[in-house]
Structure 1
Amino acid sequence: MKKLILTISLSLIGFTAFAQTAFEKAMTEKIAKVEDHKTPDEFTALANDFDRIGTKESKEWLPYYYAAFATIQKGRILMQSGKTAELDPVAADAEKYIAKAEILSPNNAELFILKKMTSGLKMMADPMSRYMTEAPVAQQALAKAQELDPNNPRITVLQAEDAYFTPEQFGGSKVKGAELFKKAIEQFGTYKSKSSLDPKWGKAEAEYFLSQK
Protein backbone atom coordinates (compact mmCIF):
# COMPACT_ATOMS: atom_id res chain seq x y z
CA MET A 1 0.00 0.00 0.00
CA LYS A 2 2.84 2.38 0.87
CA LYS A 3 4.47 1.63 -2.49
CA LEU A 4 1.20 2.40 -4.26
CA ILE A 5 0.83 5.72 -2.44
CA LEU A 6 4.44 6.58 -3.23
CA THR A 7 3.93 5.70 -6.88
CA ILE A 8 0.81 7.88 -7.08
CA SER A 9 2.60 10.76 -5.34
CA LEU A 10 5.55 10.56 -7.70
CA SER A 11 3.17 10.44 -10.66
CA LEU A 12 1.40 13.58 -9.45
CA ILE A 13 4.73 15.35 -8.96
CA GLY A 14 5.78 14.34 -12.46
CA PHE A 15 2.49 15.54 -13.93
CA THR A 16 2.77 18.88 -12.12
CA ALA A 17 6.30 19.36 -13.39
CA PHE A 18 5.17 18.53 -16.91
CA ALA A 19 2.27 20.98 -16.68
CA GLN A 20 4.55 23.73 -15.45
CA THR A 21 7.02 23.01 -18.20
CA ALA A 22 4.26 23.08 -20.82
CA PHE A 23 3.00 26.39 -19.44
CA GLU A 24 6.48 27.89 -19.36
CA LYS A 25 7.18 26.66 -22.88
CA ALA A 26 3.97 28.12 -24.26
CA MET A 27 4.58 31.43 -22.50
CA THR A 28 8.22 31.65 -23.57
CA GLU A 29 7.27 31.10 -27.21
CA LYS A 30 4.59 33.79 -27.08
CA ILE A 31 6.72 36.29 -25.13
CA ALA A 32 9.42 36.02 -27.80
CA LYS A 33 6.87 37.17 -30.37
CA VAL A 34 6.23 40.46 -28.56
CA GLU A 35 9.47 41.89 -29.93
CA ASP A 36 8.99 40.37 -33.39
CA HIS A 37 5.51 41.66 -34.13
CA LYS A 38 5.07 44.93 -36.01
CA THR A 39 1.38 45.35 -36.87
CA PRO A 40 -1.78 45.96 -34.81
CA ASP A 41 -3.35 42.75 -36.14
CA GLU A 42 -0.34 40.70 -35.02
CA PHE A 43 -0.58 42.14 -31.53
CA THR A 44 -4.34 41.50 -31.41
CA ALA A 45 -3.74 37.85 -32.25
CA LEU A 46 -0.94 37.62 -29.69
CA ALA A 47 -3.11 39.15 -26.95
CA ASN A 48 -5.81 36.59 -27.76
CA ASP A 49 -3.24 33.80 -27.49
CA PHE A 50 -2.15 34.99 -24.04
CA ASP A 51 -5.79 35.32 -22.99
CA ARG A 52 -6.41 31.69 -23.97
CA ILE A 53 -3.39 30.59 -21.94
CA GLY A 54 -4.76 32.56 -19.00
CA THR A 55 -8.13 30.86 -19.30
CA LYS A 56 -6.41 27.48 -19.22
CA GLU A 57 -3.96 28.38 -16.43
CA SER A 58 -6.51 30.00 -14.15
CA LYS A 59 -4.07 30.73 -11.30
CA GLU A 60 -1.43 32.48 -13.41
CA TRP A 61 -1.39 36.29 -13.70
CA LEU A 62 1.36 36.55 -16.32
CA PRO A 63 -0.73 35.49 -19.36
CA TYR A 64 -3.11 38.37 -18.69
CA TYR A 65 -0.19 40.71 -18.05
CA TYR A 66 1.25 39.92 -21.48
CA ALA A 67 -2.19 40.10 -23.10
CA ALA A 68 -2.43 43.65 -21.75
CA PHE A 69 1.14 44.47 -22.76
CA ALA A 70 0.57 43.20 -26.32
CA THR A 71 -2.59 45.30 -26.48
CA ILE A 72 -0.70 48.39 -25.29
CA GLN A 73 1.96 47.76 -27.95
CA LYS A 74 -0.84 47.65 -30.51
CA GLY A 75 -2.03 51.02 -29.20
CA ARG A 76 1.43 52.52 -29.49
CA ILE A 77 1.66 51.46 -33.13
CA LEU A 78 -1.75 52.99 -33.84
CA MET A 79 -0.67 56.19 -32.06
CA GLN A 80 2.53 56.43 -34.09
CA SER A 81 0.43 55.97 -37.23
CA GLY A 82 -1.83 58.85 -36.23
CA LYS A 83 -4.84 56.56 -35.67
CA THR A 84 -5.71 58.10 -32.32
CA ALA A 85 -9.45 57.54 -32.81
CA GLU A 86 -8.79 53.82 -32.32
CA LEU A 87 -7.01 54.19 -28.97
CA ASP A 88 -10.01 54.17 -26.63
CA PRO A 89 -11.17 50.60 -27.44
CA VAL A 90 -7.55 49.43 -27.31
CA ALA A 91 -7.13 50.97 -23.85
CA ALA A 92 -10.39 49.35 -22.74
CA ASP A 93 -9.12 45.94 -23.85
CA ALA A 94 -5.84 46.49 -21.99
CA GLU A 95 -7.73 47.48 -18.83
CA LYS A 96 -9.81 44.32 -19.11
CA TYR A 97 -6.69 42.14 -19.13
CA ILE A 98 -5.05 44.14 -16.32
CA ALA A 99 -8.15 43.64 -14.17
CA LYS A 100 -7.96 39.87 -14.70
CA ALA A 101 -4.28 39.84 -13.76
CA GLU A 102 -4.89 42.02 -10.70
CA ILE A 103 -7.39 39.55 -9.27
CA LEU A 104 -4.64 36.92 -9.29
CA SER A 105 -1.78 39.24 -8.25
CA PRO A 106 -2.93 42.35 -6.34
CA ASN A 107 -0.51 45.13 -5.46
CA ASN A 108 1.79 44.18 -8.31
CA ALA A 109 4.12 46.94 -9.50
CA GLU A 110 4.24 45.55 -13.03
CA LEU A 111 0.48 45.93 -13.34
CA PHE A 112 0.59 49.53 -12.14
CA ILE A 113 3.23 50.17 -14.81
CA LEU A 114 0.74 48.90 -17.39
CA LYS A 115 -1.99 51.07 -15.88
CA LYS A 116 0.25 54.09 -16.40
CA MET A 117 0.82 53.13 -20.04
CA THR A 118 -2.89 52.50 -20.62
CA SER A 119 -3.81 55.87 -19.18
CA GLY A 120 -1.29 57.40 -21.58
CA LEU A 121 -3.09 55.82 -24.53
CA LYS A 122 -6.42 57.20 -23.32
CA MET A 123 -4.90 60.66 -22.97
CA MET A 124 -3.40 60.56 -26.48
CA ALA A 125 -6.82 59.80 -27.95
CA ASP A 126 -7.73 63.42 -27.14
CA PRO A 127 -4.79 65.21 -25.45
CA MET A 128 -6.31 68.67 -25.24
CA SER A 129 -9.41 67.63 -23.32
CA ARG A 130 -8.00 64.69 -21.36
CA TYR A 131 -4.63 65.86 -20.11
CA MET A 132 -6.00 67.26 -16.85
CA THR A 133 -7.85 64.05 -16.03
CA GLU A 134 -5.59 61.30 -17.38
CA ALA A 135 -2.16 62.74 -16.52
CA PRO A 136 -2.79 62.57 -12.75
CA VAL A 137 -4.15 59.01 -13.09
CA ALA A 138 -1.04 57.97 -15.00
CA GLN A 139 1.30 59.56 -12.46
CA GLN A 140 -0.56 58.02 -9.51
CA ALA A 141 -0.22 54.59 -11.09
CA LEU A 142 3.51 55.10 -11.63
CA ALA A 143 3.94 56.40 -8.07
CA LYS A 144 2.20 53.29 -6.72
CA ALA A 145 4.48 51.08 -8.84
CA GLN A 146 7.51 52.86 -7.41
CA GLU A 147 6.21 52.43 -3.88
CA LEU A 148 5.85 48.68 -4.46
CA ASP A 149 9.08 48.12 -6.40
CA PRO A 150 11.35 51.19 -6.21
CA ASN A 151 14.26 49.71 -8.18
CA ASN A 152 12.16 48.47 -11.11
CA PRO A 153 13.91 49.79 -14.25
CA ARG A 154 10.67 49.88 -16.26
CA ILE A 155 9.41 52.62 -13.95
CA THR A 156 12.50 54.66 -14.77
CA VAL A 157 12.04 54.03 -18.51
CA LEU A 158 8.53 55.52 -18.34
CA GLN A 159 9.79 58.46 -16.27
CA ALA A 160 12.50 58.98 -18.90
CA GLU A 161 9.95 58.93 -21.71
CA ASP A 162 7.86 61.55 -19.94
CA ALA A 163 10.87 63.81 -19.40
CA TYR A 164 12.20 63.28 -22.93
CA PHE A 165 8.96 64.32 -24.63
CA THR A 166 8.00 67.12 -22.22
CA PRO A 167 9.12 70.62 -23.28
CA GLU A 168 11.58 72.45 -21.02
CA GLN A 169 9.01 75.11 -20.10
CA PHE A 170 6.94 72.32 -18.52
CA GLY A 171 9.81 70.74 -16.63
CA GLY A 172 11.12 68.20 -19.12
CA SER A 173 13.93 68.03 -21.65
CA LYS A 174 15.81 65.52 -23.75
CA VAL A 175 18.79 65.94 -21.42
CA LYS A 176 16.71 64.97 -18.37
CA GLY A 177 15.22 62.11 -20.31
CA ALA A 178 18.67 60.85 -21.31
CA GLU A 179 19.83 60.94 -17.68
CA LEU A 180 16.88 58.78 -16.67
CA PHE A 181 17.43 56.36 -19.56
CA LYS A 182 21.03 55.96 -18.34
CA LYS A 183 19.75 55.30 -14.83
CA ALA A 184 17.34 52.67 -16.19
CA ILE A 185 20.15 50.82 -17.97
CA GLU A 186 22.14 50.77 -14.73
CA GLN A 187 19.11 49.36 -12.92
CA PHE A 188 18.70 46.64 -15.55
CA GLY A 189 22.21 45.52 -14.66
CA THR A 190 21.25 44.70 -11.08
CA TYR A 191 17.48 44.12 -11.10
CA LYS A 192 16.43 40.51 -10.51
CA SER A 193 13.14 39.29 -11.97
CA LYS A 194 11.11 36.90 -9.85
CA SER A 195 10.96 34.26 -12.60
CA SER A 196 12.10 33.59 -16.14
CA LEU A 197 8.65 34.63 -17.39
CA ASP A 198 8.43 37.93 -15.53
CA PRO A 199 8.67 41.16 -17.56
CA LYS A 200 12.10 42.14 -18.82
CA TRP A 201 11.31 44.73 -21.49
CA GLY A 202 12.62 48.28 -21.49
CA LYS A 203 16.40 48.09 -21.83
CA ALA A 204 16.38 48.12 -25.64
CA GLU A 205 14.11 51.18 -25.60
CA ALA A 206 16.46 53.03 -23.24
CA GLU A 207 19.45 52.15 -25.42
CA TYR A 208 17.59 53.34 -28.51
CA PHE A 209 16.86 56.78 -27.07
CA LEU A 210 20.43 57.16 -25.84
CA SER A 211 21.67 56.39 -29.37
CA GLN A 212 19.71 59.32 -30.81
CA LYS A 213 21.71 62.46 -31.48
Structure 2
Amino acid sequence: MKKQILSFTLVLFSLLSFAQTTYEKVMKEKIAKIEKVQTAEEYQTLANDFQRIADKEKGKWQPNYYVAFSYIQKGRVMMRENKVQGLDEIADQAQKYVDEAQNVEKNAEIMLLQKMIYSLKMMVNPMERYMTFGTKATEQLAMAEKTDPNNPRILLIKAEDIYFTPEQYGGSKEKGMELFKKALEKFNSYQTKTDLDPNWGKSEAEYFVNQAQK
Protein backbone atom coordinates (compact mmCIF):
# COMPACT_ATOMS: atom_id res chain seq x y z
CA MET A 1 0.00 0.00 0.00
CA LYS A 2 2.83 2.37 0.90
CA LYS A 3 4.53 1.59 -2.41
CA GLN A 4 1.33 2.39 -4.31
CA ILE A 5 0.95 5.71 -2.48
CA LEU A 6 4.59 6.55 -3.17
CA SER A 7 4.20 5.61 -6.83
CA PHE A 8 1.07 7.74 -7.18
CA THR A 9 2.81 10.68 -5.50
CA LEU A 10 5.80 10.41 -7.85
CA VAL A 11 3.54 10.27 -10.90
CA LEU A 12 1.54 13.27 -9.69
CA PHE A 13 4.73 15.22 -9.00
CA SER A 14 6.04 14.38 -12.46
CA LEU A 15 2.81 15.55 -14.10
CA LEU A 16 2.84 18.80 -12.15
CA SER A 17 6.48 19.40 -13.02
CA PHE A 18 5.76 18.73 -16.70
CA ALA A 19 2.79 21.10 -16.67
CA GLN A 20 4.89 23.83 -15.02
CA THR A 21 7.70 23.34 -17.55
CA THR A 22 5.23 23.55 -20.43
CA TYR A 23 3.64 26.69 -18.98
CA GLU A 24 7.00 28.40 -18.60
CA LYS A 25 8.08 27.41 -22.11
CA VAL A 26 4.92 28.78 -23.72
CA MET A 27 5.09 31.96 -21.65
CA LYS A 28 8.71 32.60 -22.61
CA GLU A 29 7.86 32.13 -26.29
CA LYS A 30 5.07 34.70 -26.08
CA ILE A 31 7.07 37.14 -23.93
CA ALA A 32 9.88 37.06 -26.50
CA LYS A 33 7.45 38.53 -29.05
CA ILE A 34 6.53 41.58 -26.98
CA GLU A 35 9.17 43.95 -28.33
CA LYS A 36 9.04 42.50 -31.85
CA VAL A 37 5.40 43.19 -32.71
CA GLN A 38 4.51 46.66 -33.92
CA THR A 39 0.92 46.92 -35.16
CA ALA A 40 -2.34 47.11 -33.23
CA GLU A 41 -3.43 43.87 -34.86
CA GLU A 42 -0.27 42.07 -33.73
CA TYR A 43 -0.75 43.27 -30.17
CA GLN A 44 -4.35 42.05 -30.27
CA THR A 45 -3.13 38.60 -31.34
CA LEU A 46 -0.61 38.63 -28.50
CA ALA A 47 -3.34 39.64 -26.03
CA ASN A 48 -5.47 36.71 -27.23
CA ASP A 49 -2.53 34.31 -26.81
CA PHE A 50 -1.84 35.44 -23.25
CA GLN A 51 -5.56 35.39 -22.46
CA ARG A 52 -5.74 31.69 -23.34
CA ILE A 53 -2.86 31.04 -20.96
CA ALA A 54 -4.46 33.18 -18.23
CA ASP A 55 -7.71 31.24 -18.54
CA LYS A 56 -5.85 28.01 -17.78
CA GLU A 57 -3.38 29.29 -15.21
CA LYS A 58 -5.49 30.64 -12.39
CA GLY A 59 -3.57 32.01 -9.45
CA LYS A 60 -0.65 33.38 -11.49
CA TRP A 61 -0.36 37.13 -12.01
CA GLN A 62 2.00 37.18 -14.99
CA PRO A 63 -0.41 35.87 -17.70
CA ASN A 64 -3.03 38.48 -16.77
CA TYR A 65 -0.31 41.13 -16.61
CA TYR A 66 0.74 40.38 -20.18
CA VAL A 67 -2.83 40.38 -21.48
CA ALA A 68 -3.27 43.86 -20.01
CA PHE A 69 0.13 45.01 -21.27
CA SER A 70 -0.66 43.82 -24.81
CA TYR A 71 -3.92 45.78 -24.79
CA ILE A 72 -2.12 48.87 -23.47
CA GLN A 73 0.51 48.62 -26.20
CA LYS A 74 -2.26 48.27 -28.76
CA GLY A 75 -3.77 51.45 -27.35
CA ARG A 76 -0.45 53.27 -27.52
CA VAL A 77 -0.13 52.34 -31.20
CA MET A 78 -3.65 53.65 -31.81
CA MET A 79 -2.76 56.84 -29.95
CA ARG A 80 0.24 57.43 -32.21
CA GLU A 81 -2.07 56.91 -35.19
CA ASN A 82 -4.52 59.48 -33.75
CA LYS A 83 -7.23 56.83 -33.33
CA VAL A 84 -8.07 58.08 -29.85
CA GLN A 85 -11.80 57.35 -29.96
CA GLY A 86 -11.16 53.65 -29.43
CA LEU A 87 -8.89 54.11 -26.41
CA ASP A 88 -11.62 53.90 -23.76
CA GLU A 89 -12.59 50.42 -24.91
CA ILE A 90 -8.97 49.26 -25.07
CA ALA A 91 -8.26 50.68 -21.61
CA ASP A 92 -11.33 48.94 -20.21
CA GLN A 93 -10.14 45.61 -21.65
CA ALA A 94 -6.73 46.12 -20.06
CA GLN A 95 -8.34 47.07 -16.75
CA LYS A 96 -10.09 43.69 -16.45
CA TYR A 97 -6.78 41.88 -16.55
CA VAL A 98 -4.96 44.32 -14.31
CA ASP A 99 -7.71 43.68 -11.75
CA GLU A 100 -7.20 39.92 -12.16
CA ALA A 101 -3.45 40.28 -11.69
CA GLN A 102 -3.93 42.43 -8.58
CA ASN A 103 -6.20 39.80 -7.09
CA VAL A 104 -3.17 37.51 -7.07
CA GLU A 105 -0.38 39.93 -6.24
CA LYS A 106 0.21 43.64 -5.80
CA ASN A 107 3.53 44.90 -7.12
CA ALA A 108 5.10 47.89 -8.87
CA GLU A 109 4.85 46.32 -12.33
CA ILE A 110 1.05 46.07 -12.06
CA MET A 111 0.83 49.57 -10.57
CA LEU A 112 2.72 50.85 -13.61
CA LEU A 113 0.19 49.22 -15.93
CA GLN A 114 -2.60 50.92 -13.97
CA LYS A 115 -0.84 54.22 -14.55
CA MET A 116 -0.62 53.50 -18.28
CA ILE A 117 -4.34 52.66 -18.41
CA TYR A 118 -5.22 55.99 -16.80
CA SER A 119 -2.95 57.74 -19.32
CA LEU A 120 -4.74 56.08 -22.23
CA LYS A 121 -8.09 57.23 -20.89
CA MET A 122 -6.77 60.74 -20.41
CA MET A 123 -5.59 60.92 -24.04
CA VAL A 124 -9.14 60.49 -25.34
CA ASN A 125 -9.65 64.12 -24.33
CA PRO A 126 -6.63 65.54 -22.44
CA MET A 127 -8.16 68.95 -21.76
CA GLU A 128 -11.26 67.50 -20.11
CA ARG A 129 -9.72 64.46 -18.47
CA TYR A 130 -6.39 65.70 -17.13
CA MET A 131 -7.73 66.55 -13.69
CA THR A 132 -9.26 63.10 -13.29
CA PHE A 133 -7.29 60.45 -15.18
CA GLY A 134 -4.14 62.56 -15.39
CA THR A 135 -4.09 62.94 -11.62
CA LYS A 136 -4.78 59.24 -11.10
CA ALA A 137 -1.96 58.34 -13.49
CA THR A 138 0.48 60.54 -11.56
CA GLU A 139 -0.59 58.98 -8.26
CA GLN A 140 -0.12 55.44 -9.58
CA LEU A 141 3.33 56.25 -10.94
CA ALA A 142 4.34 57.63 -7.54
CA MET A 143 3.03 54.48 -5.81
CA ALA A 144 4.95 52.24 -8.20
CA GLU A 145 8.15 54.23 -7.70
CA LYS A 146 7.78 54.07 -3.92
CA THR A 147 7.22 50.30 -4.08
CA ASP A 148 10.17 49.57 -6.38
CA PRO A 149 12.38 52.68 -6.77
CA ASN A 150 15.03 50.86 -8.82
CA ASN A 151 12.58 49.60 -11.45
CA PRO A 152 13.79 50.95 -14.83
CA ARG A 153 10.36 50.74 -16.47
CA ILE A 154 8.99 53.28 -14.00
CA LEU A 155 11.75 55.72 -14.93
CA LEU A 156 11.19 54.97 -18.63
CA ILE A 157 7.49 55.90 -18.45
CA LYS A 158 8.32 59.01 -16.41
CA ALA A 159 10.86 59.96 -19.11
CA GLU A 160 8.21 59.49 -21.82
CA ASP A 161 5.75 61.70 -19.96
CA ILE A 162 8.21 64.55 -19.56
CA TYR A 163 9.71 64.23 -23.04
CA PHE A 164 6.39 64.27 -24.91
CA THR A 165 4.57 66.83 -22.76
CA PRO A 166 4.69 70.36 -24.24
CA GLU A 167 6.85 72.80 -22.32
CA GLN A 168 3.90 75.05 -21.48
CA TYR A 169 2.44 72.14 -19.53
CA GLY A 170 5.63 71.28 -17.67
CA GLY A 171 7.34 69.04 -20.19
CA SER A 172 10.97 69.19 -21.26
CA LYS A 173 12.81 67.22 -23.93
CA GLU A 174 16.11 67.85 -22.15
CA LYS A 175 14.85 66.57 -18.78
CA GLY A 176 13.12 63.67 -20.50
CA MET A 177 16.35 62.71 -22.24
CA GLU A 178 18.23 62.75 -18.95
CA LEU A 179 15.66 60.36 -17.50
CA PHE A 180 15.98 58.06 -20.52
CA LYS A 181 19.71 57.88 -19.81
CA LYS A 182 19.10 57.10 -16.14
CA ALA A 183 16.53 54.47 -17.11
CA LEU A 184 19.06 52.79 -19.39
CA GLU A 185 21.58 52.70 -16.55
CA LYS A 186 19.01 50.98 -14.37
CA PHE A 187 18.13 48.52 -17.13
CA ASN A 188 21.78 47.46 -17.23
CA SER A 189 21.78 46.54 -13.54
CA TYR A 190 18.16 45.60 -12.69
CA GLN A 191 17.40 41.93 -12.10
CA THR A 192 13.91 40.45 -12.40
CA LYS A 193 12.78 37.93 -9.80
CA THR A 194 11.92 35.26 -12.39
CA ASP A 195 12.29 34.73 -16.13
CA LEU A 196 8.55 35.36 -16.54
CA ASP A 197 8.54 38.77 -14.84
CA PRO A 198 8.32 41.91 -17.01
CA ASN A 199 11.58 42.82 -18.71
CA TRP A 200 10.48 45.17 -21.50
CA GLY A 201 11.58 48.72 -22.19
CA LYS A 202 15.36 48.64 -22.56
CA SER A 203 15.29 48.92 -26.36
CA GLU A 204 13.14 52.06 -26.12
CA ALA A 205 15.52 53.68 -23.66
CA GLU A 206 18.43 52.77 -25.95
CA TYR A 207 16.63 54.32 -28.92
CA PHE A 208 16.20 57.70 -27.24
CA VAL A 209 19.73 57.72 -25.81
CA ASN A 210 21.15 56.89 -29.26
CA GLN A 211 19.08 59.69 -30.80
CA ALA A 212 20.67 62.14 -28.38
CA GLN A 213 24.15 61.02 -29.39
CA LYS A 214 23.64 61.65 -33.11
TM-score (norm 2): 0.94
Say if 1:30 and 1:79 are closer, same or farther in 2 by CA, change over 3 A. same
Residue by residue over 1:81-133, the C-alpha shift from the partner in whole angstroms, topping out at 9 and shown as x without a partner, is: 1111111100110111101111111x211111001111111111111111121
SS in 2 for 1:199: coil
Partner of 1:52: 52
CA distance in 1, matches of 2:32, 2:22: 16
1:201 aligns with 2:200: yes
Partner of 1:186: 185
- Please tell me whether the aligned partners of residues 35 and 200 of structure 2 are also in contact (alpha carbons under 8 angstroms): no
1:109 aligns with 2:112: no
1:169 Cα offset (Å): 4.1
CA distance in 2, matches of 1:67, 1:132: 28
Partner of 2:155: 156
Partner of 1:26: 26
Partner of 2:124: 125
1:2 Cα offset (Å): 3.0
SS in 2 for 1:150: coil
Partner of 1:42: 42
CA distance in 2, matches of 1:116, 1:46: 21
- Please tell me whether the aligned partners of residues 64 and 98 of structure 2 are also in contact (alpha carbons under 8 angstroms): yes
- Please tell me whether the aligned partners of residues 159 and 176 of structure 2 are also in contact (alpha carbons under 8 angstroms): yes
1:166 aligns with 2:165: yes
- Give unmatched runs, 5+ long, in structure 2: none
CA distance in 2, matches of 1:189, 1:61: 25
Which stretch has the larger CA shift, 24-33 or 112-121?
Answer: 24-33
Residue by residue over 1:59-88, the C-alpha shift from the partner in whole angstroms, topping out at 9 and shown as x without a partner, is: 111111000000011001111111111111
CA distance in 1, matches of 2:38, 2:11: 43
Identity level (%): 54
- Give unmatched runs, 5+ long, in structure 1: none
Trace 1:139-150 onto structure 2 (pairs within 5 A). Answer: 139-150=138-149
Pairwise CA RMSD: 1.3
Which stretch has the larger CA shift, 28-37 or 94-103?
Answer: 28-37
1:65 aligns with 2:54: no
Aligned residue identity for 1:109:
A
1:15 Cα offset (Å): 1.2
Aligned residue identity for 2:131:
M
Aligned residue identity for 1:210:
V
1:46 Cα offset (Å): 1.5
Tell me the matched-pair count: 212
Partner of 2:76: 76
Partner of 2:12: 12
